[in-house]
Amino acid sequence: MYTYPYPRPAVTVDAVVFRKPASKAEILLIKRARAPFEGHWALPGGFIEMDETPEEAVLRELKEETGITGVEMKQLHTYGAVDRDPRHRTLSIAYFGLLSDNTQTASGADDAAMAAWYSTEDLPRLAFDHLQIVQDAIRAAGENHLF
């Protein structure tokens, strides 16, 4: 292992998962069980582990926090505003995908107090910069004909 005399940013992943059970698209959110933003709604996600790729991390975090599996995720964008996380300097690689199996039930687990589906037209206040990520994902989903 190398050590460096200067600070480095942490790297996380965020999952924007859509479903379309009826005429309007919905997005999967979690209620955070821990600080920062404890009790606020956010995208499922978390820190990349040292032995996994970002693609593996986003699927692992999605499963750990919501129980949802089998979503084909596509990389959206990397978000890196200096103040996006109050704990420290954090970069997040966001992914988006469409849940095709609407029979799966989402439930909060790990560091998510709960999980719920929200209409993309009626979102709660979101933690971090997740509103920007969601808005970008909605645009990308339209461009990719997900719904």
| Tens digit of each residue's pLDDT (9 = 90 or more) over 82-100 | 999 999 999 999 999 999 9
At residue 21 the predicted structure's pLDDT band, cuts being 50, 70 and 90, is confident
Model-level pTM?
A: 0.94
Confidence of residue 79 (pLDDT cuts 50, 70, 90): very high
**Rounded distance, CA 115 to CA 108, Å?**
5
- What is the domain partition of the chain in residue ranges? 10-143
Closest CA to 146 of 98, 103, 112, 111: 98
Is 119 a residue whose pLDDT tops 80? yes
The pLDDT of residue 22: 76
Q: Is the pLDDT of residue 102 over 90?
A: no
> How many other CB atoms sit within 10 Å of the CB of residue 44?
25
The mean predicted confidence, pLDDT, of the chain is: 94
Q: Which residues are within 8 A (CB) of 55 and not within 5 positions of it... i.e. 6 or more apart?
A: 73, 75, 95
Whether 16 contacts 134, CB under 8 Å: yes
> Using an 8 Å Cβ cutoff, are 53 and 59 in contact?
no
Q: pLDDT tens across 24-75, in order?
A: 899 999 999 999 999 999 999 999 999 999 999 999 999 999 999 999 999 9
CATH assignment, 10-143: 3.90.79.10
CA atoms within 13 A on the CB side of 3: 1
